[in-house]
Every structure is written in C-alpha cells, then in structure tokens.
Amino acid sequence: MARVPSAVVAASGLVGGYGVARWTKKRPLGGAVLAVAGTAAAQQWRKQAGNATAGALTAAYVGAFAGSHPLAKKIGAWPSVLGVAGAVALASWAVADRKA
C-alpha cells in the first residue's frame, strides 16, 4: 500500500475539517476530522524528521487553523482555508516529505 505524504494528510485535515463542519453544521465533527488528520500527520513527521521538526510542524498546523479564522474575515472562508492548507502542505513537504 502506498504511503500518503504527510503534506497531503495535513492539508486534507484542514480542508476536510472545515468542509465537514460547514456541510454538517456540526463544528465538533469538523474538529474531529482536523484532530485525526493532525495526529496522523504528526506521527509521520516524527518518523520522517524527528521530534523537534514534528513539534514545529504541529505548531504550524494548529497555528494555521487558528489563523484561518481572522484571515477568513478579510478574504473569505474558503480562500482562507485553502491558503493556510497550502502553506502547511508546503512546509510539510519542505522539511519532512522531501527527505523521504
């Protein structure tokens, strides 16, 4: 079975978490998607790049989630979510996936 890159897992968690919360109108369900994907990505980051890098990328993931909210007020919800997801995916690829 092919491994899904951590960049894809992380970006999918941010986009999927928002999408699930929006379409089901159940924010905790979207949060669960966000948390499961974030945990899976963090495990991959730890294996690929070590604890320190995994911690930094996890902080970026959580920061992207938090930062998407005020950014959404300026550029809209979907552009905000897609932008922060792209930023986290790029960071993940640059420091973890590229080495794999």
Q: What is the pTM of this model?
A: 0.94
Contact 17, 68 (CB under 8 A): no
| Average pLDDT over the chain, rounded to an integer | 96
Instruction: Give me the pLDDT at residue 60, please.
Output: 98
Residue with tokens 């999408």: 19
Q: Is the pLDDT of residue 66 over 70?
A: yes
62 CB-near residues (< 8 Å, 6+ apart): 38
Q: What are phi and psi of 2, to 5 degrees?
A: -75, 145
Q: Rounded distance, CA 43 to CA 58, Å? A: 10
- Segment 79-98 mean pLDDT: 97
Is residue 67 helix, strand or coil?
Answer: helix
E-strand ranges in the chain read none
